[in-house]
Amino acid sequence: MFFASDNTSGLPPRIWEALRRANDGFAPGYGADTLTTRLRTRIREVFEAPKAEIYLVTTGSAANALALATLTPPWGAIYCHKLAHIEVDECGAPEFYTGGAKLVHVDGADGKISPAALTATLGAAGRGNVHNVQPSALSLTNLTECGTRYTVSEITELAAIAHAHGLPVHLDGARFANALVAEGCSPADMSWRAGVDMLVLGGTKNGLMGVEAVVIFDPARAWEFQLRRKRAGHLWSKHRFLAAQMLAWLEGGLWLDLARHANDMAARLEAGLAPHAQMLFARGGNMIFARWPRALHTRMQAAGAQYYLWPDTEHLDGPPEAPVSARLVTSWSTREAQVGEFLALMHQPD
């Protein structure tokens, strides 16, 4: 009953097999190997973006921070939701990588920036006033940290506002695949066609060991990105092992199948919980936020169910009857039996 995070899962067999094959013999380092070349070509095809540049790193925090640093000067304002991963969970990585840019919150329900709030916030920004940080980038996350999903048209609207103010758009796609299969559109539709300028295509939460691709749709800043990556110690020497995984992941749409399975498991879990628990947000993919009494939570944890309370700091203590909010995440490796076990445990009489 592991629902703590999709990063507690391992790698599916086809990824392993690809990794094993990549181990044969010698290969040039730092991305000069043939697998990396093939992967770059493959991502361009999958995204219908022949000019895109693609660079691999091994964590989402690194991918986001490097992307933002390439888009934003040190005196820039990066507009994001107050719950965004870059704001809450990266120990200030964007500030470190950008040389001290400021993350400015934009309001919106359910973890999603609202167009009206974005317009208002940008309108009040002191562009051209030397005393103020300067508007520099919009950062979206899909799926959001609340497990909700921006539709393609919502991304398009927000990106249009950003572009109208001269801001490029970064998309934190740690769960891009989960959003994509739920939305049922093409990778291009949810990225550059909607106005995304730089995408973090997350593999780690969807079956890879630690592989994230930064997809730069406008190659003008590609060389800068490469220098930033190296300078941050994020240029792997044995690069073939990263490329091999992601190639196998894209092959035959495996990445989408893995994400679809995770979403399906979340749907099943949600359906089973719905009669007994309050759902906090409309599910966008493979994450559920639900409320139940602390006493039930205590019993579930004791029985081995693993999940986080959210936000964790609000839950330090409280009466048994008071509700707590639980975050449950499924993955490619979640089995139906695990969902069933969890639901059975939940419905057990105390």
- Nearest residue (CB) to a copy of itself, 131 versus 350: 131
Residue of 39, 49, 56, 62 interacting with a copy of itself (CB under 8 A) = 62
Of the candidates 99, 38, 70, which has an alpha carbon nearest to the alpha carbon of residue 197? 70
Q: Rounded to the nearest whole angstrom, what is the least distance from the CB of residue 156 to a copy of itself in the complex?
A: 27
Of the candidates 128, 207, 220, which has an alpha carbon nearest to the alpha carbon of residue 168? 220
Q: Does 22 bind a copy of itself (CB under 8 A)?
A: yes
Which residues ranging from 321 to 340 are in contact with a copy of itself (CB under 8 A)?
Answer: 333
- Nearest residue (CB) to a copy of itself, 152 versus 198: 198
User: Amino acid letter at 91?
Assistant: C
Q: Are 207 and 332 in contact (CB under 8 A)?
A: yes
- Nearest residue (CB) to a copy of itself, 129 versus 153: 129
Residue whose structure tokens are 């002191």: 126
CA dist., res. 279 & res. 276, Å (int): 10
Which residues ranging from 273 to 292 are in contact with a copy of itself (CB under 8 A)?
Answer: none
Residue of 209, 279, 343, 345 interacting with a copy of itself (CB under 8 A) = 209
Phi-psi domain of 243 (left: phi exceeds 0; alpha: psi -120 through 50; beta: other): alpha
Structure tokens at 106: 């934009």
CA dist., res. 317 & res. 209, Å (int): 35
Q: Rounded to the nearest whole angstrom, what is the least distance from the CB of residue 186 to a copy of itself in the complex?
A: 28
- From 2-10, 41-49, 159-167, 282-290, give the range in contact with a copy of itself by CB under 8 A: 2-10
Q: Rounded to the nearest whole angstrom, what is the least distance from the CB of residue 227 to a copy of itself in the complex?
A: 5
Beta strands 102-105 and 323-329, pairing class: unpaired
- From 9-17, 179-187, 253-261, 319-327, give the range in contact with a copy of itself by CB under 8 A: 9-17
Helix, strand, coil percentages, rounded to 5, for the chain: 45, 15, 40
- From 23-31, 44-52, 143-151, 276-284, give the range in contact with a copy of itself by CB under 8 A: 23-31
Q: Does 29 bind a copy of itself (CB under 8 A)?
A: yes
CA distances from 91 to 25, 43, 44, 84, 94 (A): 39, 30, 32, 12, 9
- Nearest residue (CB) to a copy of itself, 125 versus 167: 125
**In degrees rounded to 5, what are phi and psi of residue 54?**
-130, 130
Residue of 234, 260, 261, 283 interacting with a copy of itself (CB under 8 A) = 234
Q: Rounded to the nearest whole angstrom, what is the least distance from the CB of residue 193 to a copy of itself in the complex?
A: 28
Q: Rounded to the nearest whole angstrom, what is the least distance from the CB of residue 189 to a copy of itself in the complex?
A: 28
- From 144-152, 178-186, 235-243, 282-290, give the range in contact with a copy of itself by CB under 8 A: 235-243
CA dist., res. 62 & res. 67, Å (int): 8
Q: Rounded to the nearest whole angstrom, what is the least distance from the CB of residue 125 to a copy of itself in the complex?
A: 7
Q: Are 208 and 249 in contact (CB under 8 A)?
A: yes
CA dist., res. 77 & res. 121, Å (int): 11
Structure tokens at 81: 């939701």
How big is the chain by its Cα radius of gyration, in Å?
A: 21
Number of shown-chain residues binding a copy of itself (CB under 8 A) = 78
Of the candidates 238, 219, 209, 234, which has an alpha carbon nearest to the alpha carbon of residue 96? 234
Which residue(s) pair with 328 in the sheet? 288
Which residues ranging from 80 to 119 are in contact with a copy of itself (CB under 8 A)?
Answer: 88-93, 95-96, 98-103
- Nearest residue (CB) to a copy of itself, 85 versus 193: 85
Which residues ranging from 64 to 83 are in contact with a copy of itself (CB under 8 A)?
Answer: 64-66, 73-75
Of the candidates 197, 212, 263, which has an alpha carbon nearest to the alpha carbon of residue 242? 212
Q: Does 4 bind a copy of itself (CB under 8 A)?
A: yes
Q: Does 241 bind a copy of itself (CB under 8 A)?
A: yes
Q: Rounded to the nearest whole angstrom, what is the least distance from the CB of residue 215 to a copy of itself in the complex?
A: 17
